[in-house]
Structure 1
Amino acid sequence: MDLAVTVVTQVVNWPLAVLTARRAASGRAPFASWATVALLVSGAVAVWDPASTLTFSRAAVAVSNASLALLFTVYLDGRFVPRWTIVPVVIEIAVQAADVASGFALESRLWWPMHFVAIWAVLIVGGQVHRYRSRSSVDERERTRWPLLTIVLMVVAFSLWSFVALGLGAVATDRSQSWLANLLFVLPGVGFAVGLLAPRLLRVDRALRWTITWGLWSTAMSALAWAASTALLALPAAPRSWSTAAIVGATALPALWATRRMAELTVYGRRPDPGRTLEELGNRLAATVDPRTVPVDIVATVTSSLGLAGAALRGVPALSATAGASVEASEGRMEYPIRYQGERLGHLVVIPRPGESALTAHDRAVLTQICGQAAPALHSARVVRDLIDARSRLVFAREEERKRLRRDLHDDLAPTFAGLGLTAAAVETFSRLGDERAAEAAARLVVGLGAATRQLRDVAYDLRPPVLDDRGLVAAIEERLSAPGSVPVFRVDAPPERLELPAAVESAALRIVQEAVTNVRRHAAASVCVVTVAVDPGMLRLGIADDGVGIPDRLAGGIGMRSMTERAGEVGGELSAGPAPGGGTLVRASLPLTGVPLPEATALAGEAT
């Protein structure tokens, strides 16, 4: 195993040292790069003597220790952050130099192992974690995760190895296991080098989180088991074992929760675990009473779970919301599209956490998942908003229709009938007196009654054209299109027999054709327009095609198109508009015939029974 570790170390360390030296020579992070080169080279030299009995090997280990202590505090930008970390670094370098100068006599002192715990674990590693959590930029964090992962692996493995050796009554530094120590010792150099050269080679967020969680937990449980067993040496073997197991079992779950929380805070920051974030979003949406507040819930979840400075949903007004700071013209802002079944509902705009200029790869992955999970909820919110708007428009349209009917009855028919009443009174008076003007008054009465009849017919026609009930949909369409010499020329392609359709479908179809034909006359500049009416099983198909200039962009979402779409939707149908195969515009509508019983079908069913 010693030979295998030696070969692997040479194959890995020397190429990394050359690449890192080239980076240092180019002036990119030279201080940290040269320290990494020293760590890689000293590690490669040290493993040539696996047992560390020769002077060159022990000197290489001393250089590795000093380089590692330096990298703990100056990686990545060459500055000591926090500044007080320069003190333990200077102490460690001085201790290693004194050890070499004394002929490595200091290594035999009792305090020698403890000084690593005091200086490295408490001061240097603590300072590096503080730098990672509070001072590092997003890019520096991504580069630091590699060495942090390898350092945690090394510390956890050494600790577990030591506790296992103590439990077995062996010596942790048994020379027969030197290959494991050498293998673990070269890990930090590889981590620092990869962090400098290719930090995005792999996403190590999950690996680092897993290592911190389970590594620290297993180390803590092993230490607790050893301490409990040592403290209970006075007890017989069986009670001591049961007591130790009880102590470890009672603390296992709380310790696991603590290490998991520590890992999440170290790697991600404030509650950024994707599962928890999506769970929080789901809980918010499930507790939402009014679907119109869904956009607000989404941006609130994004800002609270990721700790972002601000977030906003942009799209149609019904799907817009903002939380936190303004995202307009903010540095580092990013946009994420929200799509539902291929349709873009809007986009989520976010800005990084305060003090940061960019989002991490993990943040971007979480936001992508949030957009995917939020899309169905936003679609539902939009549907609800559309239904509310449609209902509002229906109420307004109903009131406007009532207002128009009242105006027609009051302003037109009421004066007409009042005049007819006066004329009838005059006829009565003249007739009683035998006045010749009775005939003239009667003639005016006849004319007035005819005018009143036409006015009543017009009012009734506006409510529902009589031709629909008298002759059917096709005849009503032909009547509306019949205008000699009109341009364009209209042609109706429909079955010759009368179509028996539900009243609501007939009315919706006629209104759709009227609106489409009006658009053709006003905007298409067409010479021919063909209206097609066909009935499939359970469905009425309409087509209005012209050979004009095509549908203008300004009309694609205009009032006319919206009116036709709403009329089709009112009876459960669909409508689309686009270019016709040979040029011009083609409007298609599909109106279902099921769900509304036909009067004739009902009558026949009654007769049959």
Structure 2
Amino acid sequence: MKKRLDGLFYLFSHGAWWYITVISVALFIYSETKAYDKFLKVCSSEECQDLFLLSAEEAQTLLSYGMSMSFYSGILVVLLLIQFLSFFSVGCLLYVYGMRDRICLYTSILLIATGTVMSISTPIISEAPHLESIFQVESFVGDLYLFFFFLFPDGRFRPKWLLYPAIIGLVGNIGIYFLPGSFIDPTTWPIPIRSGIWLSLHALAIYSQIHRYRHAQTKQLKRQMRWFAVSLSGFILSVLSLLTFSIFGENGLLKLFMWFVYYLALLFMPFSIGIAILEQRQRHLSVVFSRTIVYSFVTLMVMGVYVLIVGSLGFLLNDQNNIFISLLATGIVAIFFQPLRTKIQHSVNTLVYGDREDPYKILSSLTQRLELTMTNSSVLLTVVEEVAKALKLPFAAIDIEMEGQFERYATFGEEVQVRSEFPLTLNGERIGILLVGARSLQETMPPDKVYLLTDLLRQVTMAVQTVRILSELKRSRIKLVSFREEERRRLRRDLHDGLGASLASISLKMDTLVYQNDVDIVLKNRLIELQEDLRSAIAGIRQLVYNLRPPALDELGLIFALDELCRQYDGSSLKVSLEASEIDFPLHAAIEVAAYRIVQEAVTNAGKHSKGSTCKVTLGLEDSHVMIRIIDDGVGLPTNRKNGIGLHSMRERAVEVDGQFLIKNGHDKGLMIEARLPLWMEGD
């Protein structure tokens, strides 16, 4: 049922788009074909209902500058054409590239309808009764642009209270088209009130964009809103200027200039909206869209510049029909076309690509971040984050080849369906893969800068190779530590159960000989001496066994072994206490020894050097790690201290099992030692 409703809604939306598009073209063509003759007419100040028409005073002023009404009418018709084409072309491009996305579709309908309403003369349509009904539909849809501004670009009201002024504007539109003459119809209000509300709503729309800009989390979103806010501000200022001069001025030349400024300001708005919407909704299509926009924008700009040059030269030479003027204008446009195109291409690239317009900024930024990142665990996270943010990718990840298999080492963002893989090779050997959330990395940079991707991939490859070597060294070290602990376990068992037991048996047999009555006194003394030597050997073996691996770890476990260690200080001047979370699973042998020896060395140092009365040992679990804290209330460390053998030994024991070690003075007094050891090691 849901799929059927979605299908019907999809068909209805596309049907609405085609309806609006067809009537927009029809209305514009009808208005444009009659506009030239319409604008030639002069009206009195009291009867001018069309802002495009000149009053008698304005026409006289224009004629005094040597400009005819035909020149004014021709310029205005061309400006209307450029304005219509700008909105219509962006609307159609949005439909073509984002027809499967509802937001793109609705924005396309709004741009086409709004652009049409702003580029036709209402009195011309009013003279054709058969067009009035469809013009009402077109006008209502077009006037929804203000409601759209409050939602741009993510479809939400920010801040939320802007919902209420947006509704006020929507109610006003409903009053104009569905309840004309009622109290909610703004056309019935006094002009000052109507203008004030209109300005207030547009000012709040700008405030909405400023609020979004301040709270935007990415440079990409800030850049999009900055372009849109500039174009919207230019549109509002041009409207204000046009209204001001239409009310208080009677200068035809100034009015023509204000029309030119007004439509120039309108020219930027659809392009900024189109790029931002498609960037927000259809990331992989925005690049192709932007290239098409450059062609469209340059074409319209050239048309506008040509009209401006022809008009200016005609004004200066006091002739609007001279073929020389047209040829001269064509030559000037041809000269400045390529620099204009280059500048516009750069501006659009900056809007679409951001920092990617200058890819060496990415390489420089990535290099700086890598220089600041010193740990193996964070270097690749820095790489994928920098690559994703710089190229505006929703997802990036790096897989590294280790022992014949690829392992995911770093990820940024959430995985997307549209993605591509790029092998990272060194000396012909594939050592890793860079995965990105784009169909191709070539789409993420301007076409003339794609060759610099090689440098970017080389930087990533070197970072991956560094991590790969460090990981191999780490694995080798961990294996050596594991083998060492297992070998120590075996030696301790063999010495304790084998040699130790044999020596103890020999000692018992010697005791039997010593206490026999018929043994010569000299021989007895000799046996007693040998027995003492044997006891010393047994004690040495026991000490050797303890140094290899404390027996309490295997017999009692880590927590009980630490508790026994702390109890050895009962009755001394230093009171040692233990707080430990229960660990209900066996730890790796190397982890147990490292934890035990670090606590042992720390407590020993506290007893010898701290001059404190208490020492607290805390053992707990935290994020797949064993956290050890030893805090005393002694004198702490001197500022000019040098690490002794004990501190060096503790740090080394933590590092060799891939742990972390920290030592610092307490907040008030004393010393705090922290060790963070993993719960398991490679090969567990």
TM-score (norm. length: structure 2): 0.32
TM-score (norm. length: structure 1): 0.35
